[in-house]
């Protein structure tokens, strides 16, 4: 080899050696991986904190304006709220999980030089910042690297420090980063409680519902009786209220959950609204204004008094709240007891037919050698024509299973369809049924006499009455022909 070539190779080799040693001198001194230290020296829990913020910069945007996203949580009394998200309550368990994980962090020192921060994704611009405000003592500002070892390990450091620690914990998971670490994955939805109301149902004194046509459909109130709260109707009804139905309804209201949360500006204020009002024992009313449809989810918007945002709730969930007083009548609201019934007086006012249905004791035939059997109850129609027990029982069951609604705003005097008197041992109660309230509505007026109380009966009840009466007329004619 020529000396000239040898000199060139020697110079190149020397240059490579200089570069290697220069690079090596820039690398941070590494400590043995088995030397672990507590990242947070003090005892850490939600109880000693007053504020928590989580922030991240969008490095894909070069402009300084609007490139950082921050979640801020503040302790208010004994609970936590999302300060930057309408002051909504935070799910404590989410914060508890994060803080417990930070408290238990043990790390191995990997670097003490800022020149390699990029290798860990832990520069001020690239890292995820967790700031903890303490009740006593100085705040803590932890930066989590966006690059990790495998699926679990993370790199962390304190703001202002060049010491980078490797921790064998997945800090990114409780922060909401399940896959890629992008600023778009940092949002309040993971943290806030999407319950529409934060109330204790025992503190509700009354519930009212006004529909979008401004008709007052529901008014129920609770009053203290012998030291206990009992539910009743604001309007006067002789029919009893079912406390279990009321309890289940109020639980539905208290447990309303949002599909998502939106700004009030996103709601179309021109839509007609349904309004639910809860009177609370602190002399305040909670009003839920419901209306408008979220195009993305199909849910409806719910505005709550005192809250500066709107909740989107599933339409089917809300429709279960649009009820009226009659929803809470007890089952068998008329108190029909087959043993107390002695007969029916029936007038079909459309067909101009009258039927009298009476219960009587029937003596059964017996063989000459047998003992006389006890009498049994049977039914006869009009001129003592006996009919099958099945038909009166169908009529009784129709009244027993009737579903009534309040109907104070209906004209109950015009063109009734049936007048049926229920003859009991101690009293006779008359029901004037019809007319139909509206051609498009499946309800008939239903008036109880002599009380003069007005209700609505569903179309299915009236159909059952029609069928039972027609079958009894047919049966009576058949019995008459058989005897002749």
At residue 16, the pLDDT reads: 60
pLDDT greater than 60 at residue 468: yes
Alpha-carbon distance 469 to 343, whole Å?
Answer: 14
Q: What is the DSSP string of 235-256?
A: S--SSPB-HHHHHHHHHHHHT-
Percent of the chain, pLDDT > 90? 52
Q: Is residue 324 exposed (0-12), middle (13-18) or buried (19+ Cβ within 10 Å)?
A: middle
Of 25 and 472, which is predicted with more confidence? 472
Tokens of 141: 């500002």
The C-alpha angle with vertex 198 and arms to 194 and 199, in degrees rounded to 5, equals 150
User: pTM for the full model?
Assistant: 0.79
130 by Cβ neighbours in 10 Å (0-12 / 13-18 / 19+) ranks as: buried
Q: Supply the pLDDT for residue 402.
A: 94
C-alpha to C-alpha distance for 196 and 250, rounded to whole angstroms: 13
Kindly report, residue by residue over 328-371, the tens digit of the pLDDT: 999 999 999 888 899 999 998 888 888 898 988 887 766 665 66
Domain boundaries along the sequence of the chain: 36-190, 201-328, 338-483
pLDDT band at 22 (very low <50, low <70, confident <90, very high): very low
Q: Give the integer Cα–Cα distance in Å for 199 and 207.
A: 14
410 confidence band (pLDDT: 50, 70, 90): low
Q: What is the pLDDT of residue 451?
A: 83
Taking residues 139-162, report their average pLDDT: 90
Are 146 and 60 in contact, with CB atoms under 8 Å apart?
A: no
Residues 82-105 have a mean pLDDT of 93
Residue of higher predicted confidence among 80 and 272: 80
- CB of 264 within 8 A of CB of 312? no
Compute the mean pLDDT over every residue in the chain, rounded to the nearest whole number: 85
For residue 68, the model assigns a pLDDT of 84
Are 460 and 401 in contact, with CB atoms under 8 Å apart?
Answer: no
φ and ψ at residue 415, rounded to 5 degrees: 50, 65
Span of 112-126, 146-160, 400-414 with lowest mean pLDDT:
400-414
Backbone angles phi, psi at 212, to 5 degrees: -65, -10
DSSP notation for 95-142: HHHHHHHHHT-EEEEEE--GGGHHHHT-STTTSEEEEEEESSS--EEE
Give tens-digit pLDDT for 270-291.
678 999 999 998 888 999 999 9
384-395 pLDDT, tens digit each: 778 888 888 899
């Amino acid at each position: 080899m020529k000396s000239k070539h040898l000199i060139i190779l020697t110079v190149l080799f020397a240059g490579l050696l200089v570069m290697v040693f220069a690079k090596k001198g820039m690398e941070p001194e590494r400590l043995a991986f088995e030397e672990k230290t507590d990242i947070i020296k003090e005892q850490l829990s939600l109880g000693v904190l007053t504020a928590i913020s989580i922030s991240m910069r969008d490095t894909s945007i070069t402009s300084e304006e609007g490139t950082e996203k921050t979640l801020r949580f503040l302790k208010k009394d004994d609970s936590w709220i999302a300060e930057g998200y309408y002051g909504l309550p935070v799910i404590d368990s989410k914060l508890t999980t994060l803080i417990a994980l930070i408290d238990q962090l043990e790390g191995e020192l990997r670097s003490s030089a800022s020149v390699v921060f990029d290798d860990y994704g832990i520069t001020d611009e690239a890292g995820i910042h967790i700031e903890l405000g303490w009740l006593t003592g100085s705040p803590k500002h932890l930066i989590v690297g966006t690059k990790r070892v495998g699926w679990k390990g993370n790199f962390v450091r304190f703001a202002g420090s060049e010491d980078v620690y490797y921790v064998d914990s997945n800090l990114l998971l409780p922060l909401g980063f399940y896959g890629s670490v992008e600023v778009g994955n940092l949002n309040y939805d993971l943290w806030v409680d999407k319950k529409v109301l934060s109330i204790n149902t025992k503190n509700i004194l009354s519930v009212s519902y006004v529909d979008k046509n401004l008709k007052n459909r529901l008014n129920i109130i609770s009053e203290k009786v012998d030291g206990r709260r009992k539910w009743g109707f604001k309007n006067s009804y002789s029919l009893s209220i079912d406390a279990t139905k009321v309890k289940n309804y109020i639980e539905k209201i208290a447990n309303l959950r949002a599909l998502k949360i939106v700004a009030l500006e996103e709601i179309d204020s021109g839509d007609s609204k349904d309004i639910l009002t809860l009177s609370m024992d602190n002399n305040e009313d909670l009003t839920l204004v419901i209306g408008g449809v979220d195009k993305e989810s199909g849910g409806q918007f719910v505005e709550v008094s005192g809250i500066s945002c709107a909740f989107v709730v599933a339409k089917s969930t809300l429709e279960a709240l649009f009820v009226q007083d009659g929803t809470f009548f007890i089952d068998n609201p008329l108190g029909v007891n087959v043993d107390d019934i002695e007969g029916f007086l029936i007038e079909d006012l459309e067909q101009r037919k009258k039927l009298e249905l009476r219960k009587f004791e029937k003596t059964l035939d017996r063989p000459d050698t047998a003992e006389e059997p006890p009498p049994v109850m049977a039914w006869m129609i009009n001129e003592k024509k006996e009919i099958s027990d099945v038909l009166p029982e169908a009529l009784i069951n129709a009244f027993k299973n009737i579903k009534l609604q309040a109907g104070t705003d209906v004209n109950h005097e015009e063109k009734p369809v049936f007048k049926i008197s229920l003859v009991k041992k101690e009293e006779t109660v008359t029901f004037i049924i019809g007319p139909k309230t509206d051609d498009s509505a499946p309800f008939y007026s239903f008036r109880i006499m002599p009380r003069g109380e007005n209700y609505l009966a569903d179309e299915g009840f009236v159909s059952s009455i029609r069928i039972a009466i027609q079958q009894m007329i047919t049966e009576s004619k058949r019995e008459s022909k058989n005897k002749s």
